[in-house]
Amino acid sequence: MAKIPVGVLGATGTVGQRFIQLLADHPWFEVKAVAASDRSIGQRYAEACHWLLPTPIPVGVRDLLVQPIEPGLDCRLLFSALPSDVGGPAEEAFARAGYAVCSNASAHRMDGDVPLLIPEVNAGHTALIETQRRERGWEGLLVASANCTGTQLTLGLKPLQEAFGLRQVLLVSMQAVSGAGYPGVPSLDILGNVVPYIGGEEDKVEAEPRKMLGALQGDGIAAAPFTVSAHCNRVPVRDGHTLCVSVALEREASVDEIVAALADFRGSPEAAGLPSSPAAPIVVCQEPDRPQPIRDRDTDGGMAVVVGRVRACPVFDVKFVLLGHNTVRGAAGGSIHNAELLVAQGWVER
């Protein structure tokens, strides 16, 4: 099939660059437009962008001129890696102009008519697009990816919810500096240090998984009835968020049953066969000192989350360590995966 022309909003930033890298040889999508702030507009992408990734800037993108964040971009599918305050109104304007928008920004994640998607977890939530189009009167569409920590947590919780039910979740995160964008956290604040605060993060991690694990009811989502308590920390790791998670379940389960539920999880059949789907969304490791960011974050191209140290918890029922790549599964890779689902379901024409 001819590739679908796509654009990246905020293409010069940390997540924007990851989009450009992951889209380089994508079988369905081809980057035709890049857009960013006044600082970058009119420059060639390679000049405007302080490229941070170890692979070269793809040849087809190097010479694209950076354009303003305004409808008129020569594509019909857009990935947004904009800061939330800019992304909120811009994404609406693009959807109103008929574009399909897959957003990474937080502005619309909790809107009642915006699917907050992970293809393996809640592919059916795209039904909200009908409501969105009816209520907002636009022909485009807007779907969102969750916060990076919330995405990987939700993948880990989904098989436990299905098999045993969830009551309470407590997590402590150790989040990489790339999660703060570029230039992000000043080096003197983070080298040899831990910062026990990430503005707004805990609220997002406590709310977004409950929406993704919730049930479609009429024109909206009924949030899943469990509670989450999150402690979010920034640590001097470049990429990869590590979460220590304790979970209280509805039904009793042995550690072996929990490990089996995690390892056997494949997710919605609608995710099977999408170009970015990992072989297994959750990889369970047995080594007592894994997962670790530098060793495990690139598992299956960064699209699988890695769980280890699954053991009984004397306060809750079970505890484990869960690692995910924040700019791949937790941002650009997750959003591309969502776009693939939209194509497979027919919301975006091939």
CB of 87 to ligand NAP, least distance (A): 6
Element (H, E) at 175: strand 166-175
List of residues 6+ apart from 1 with CB closer than 8 A: 28, 350
345 forms part of the interface with ligand NAP (CB under 6 A): no
User: Tokens in use for 82?
Assistant: 């904009």
Burial of 39 per CB tally in 10 Å (0-12, 13-18, 19+): exposed
Question: Looking at beta carbons only, is 319 or 325 nearer to ligand NAP?
Answer: 325
Mark residues 32-61: x for contact with ligand NAP by CB under 6 A, - for none. ----xx-xx---------------------
Q: How many residues does the chain have?
A: 350
Question: Looking at beta carbons only, is 39 or 74 nearer to ligand NAP?
Answer: 39
Select the residue interacting with ligand NAP from 12, 154, 242, 246 (CB under 6 A).
12
Q: 153 and 320 in contact (C-beta within 8 Å)?
A: no
**Binding residues among 59-78 for ligand NAP as defined by CB under 6 A:** 69
**Which residues are part of the catalytic machinery?**
148, 241
Select the residue interacting with ligand NAP from 61, 77, 95, 105 (CB under 6 A).
105
**Binding residues among 137-176 for ligand NAP as defined by CB under 6 A:** 147-148
Q: What SS3 class is residue 127?
A: helix
Side chain identity, residue 292: Q
324 forms part of the interface with ligand NAP (CB under 6 A): no
Strand partners, 169: 228, 247
126 forms part of the interface with ligand NAP (CB under 6 A): no
Select the residue interacting with ligand NAP from 4, 15, 100, 155 (CB under 6 A).
15
User: Tokens in use for 174?
Assistant: 């150790």
Strands of 305-312's sheet in order across: 227-234, 166-175, 241-249, 318-324, 305-312, 282-284
Q: Which parts of this chain interact with ligand NAP (CB under 6 A)?
A: 10-16, 36-37, 39-40, 69, 81-84, 86-87, 104-106, 147-148, 178-179, 181-182, 326-327, 330-331
